Structure 1
Amino acid sequence: MDPTTRADITTRADLDVLLRRFYTAAFADPLIGPFFTEIAGTDLDVHMPRITDFWERALFRTAEYRRNAFAPHAALHAARPLTAEHFGRWVQLWHATIDGLHRGPNADRAKAQGERIAVAMLRRLGGKDTSTDGDGPGFIPLVALELRRAA
């Protein structure tokens, strides 16, 4: 897709396409995929309306989302610790998916919100002093996101 012709995220339908593409990549990813497929046993058809509600609420304030987004992540972390590297990979895939489909203020807001969520989840799971550094191959440490925001 020509980057100059990519439209912004403006509707729930846009979110549905974006999230399905993102989760297809996330489920297939060797680093974070097992959290979805093996540990959580995520059924994408069940998960999609909930996560679409979450992002519709986050970006447009139009959906009702009254679930606890942290609880499933805490359960995953109890089964197998989630690290900065896992959250960093999530952010990488999230950015790549958005950038491949959209550009504009809502796309930028979705990427920034994803970064904030990743850092907040990591810190909440591991404590406020949890390192946002990572050392896996091809990994962009979450600390780089914090430095970019501070600049």
Structure 2
Amino acid sequence: MALPDITSRTDLERALRLFYRAAFADPLIGPHFTEVARLDLEAHLPRITDFWESALLRTASYRGNALAPHAALHAAAPLTAAHFGRWVQLWRATLDGRHAGPVTERAKAQSQRIAVAMLRRLGDGGTGGGTGGFVPLSAVRLASGSAVG
């Protein structure tokens, strides 16, 4: 049986709940959510669902600056290409287990674009090494699901 595509806000909210469950438990990025940001998922979920609904379903529900909270988080505990790579990897895995279709593929591609843009906009590529936005191979490997050696 074919997996359904993402077609509604409800689909997005369910996928985001699964994603955050995995992200909070992840040893690499989990501490950024649970210890640094102390993210209250119930408070955050409507806003992040607005973001993805706007991006994927072409609504105008998100009105905000997605970079600002990430910049504050980066200032408290630097976010690296490996962190963003894991974020992309977990998002893709969440979607692959639940949805398939053009909107789902757009969601996966969008996550990659967001990760690269965030790394660049955090000033030094998010790598701590002054790479000018270069995304190291570790991020590509994490995003694709390959082991980082």
Give the TM-score of the pair, scaled to structure 1: 0.85
Aligned to 2:54: 57
Aligned to 2:27: 30
Q: In 2, distance between residues paired with 1:95 and 1:53?
A: 19
Aligned to 1:76: 73
Residue 131 of structure 1, aligned match among 114, 120, 134: 134
What 5-or-longer segments of structure 2 have no aligned partner?
Answer: 126-131, 145-149
Aligned to 1:149: none
Percent identity, aligned pairs only?
64
Aligned to 2:141: 140
Q: Is the 8 A contact 2:89 2:142 kept in 1?
A: no
RMSD of equivalent CA atoms: 1.8
TM-superposed CA distance for 1:127, in Å, is 3.5
Cα pair distance change 1:105/1:135, threshold 3 Å: closer
Amino acid at match of 1:122: L
Amino acid at match of 1:131: F
Amino acid at match of 1:47: H
SS of the residue corresponding to residue 95 of structure 2 reads: helix
Aligned to 2:45: 48
TM-superposed CA distance for 1:5, in Å, is 1.8
Cα pair distance change 1:108/1:71, threshold 3 Å: same
Residue 86 of structure 2, aligned match among 89, 105, 114: 89
Deviations 1:31-89 (A, max 9, x none): 00011100000000001000000000000112421111100000010001100000000
Amino acid at match of 2:141: I
Structure with the largest fraction of helix: 1
Q: Is the 8 A contact 1:8 1:103 kept in 2?
A: yes
Runs of 4+ deviating beyond 3 Å: none
Task: Work out the number of aligned pairs and report it.
Answer: 138
Deviates more, 1:123-132 or 1:77-86: 123-132
Q: In 2, distance between residues paired with 1:34 and 1:23?
A: 12
Cα pair distance change 1:141/1:21, threshold 3 Å: closer
TM-superposed CA distance for 1:133, in Å, is 0.8
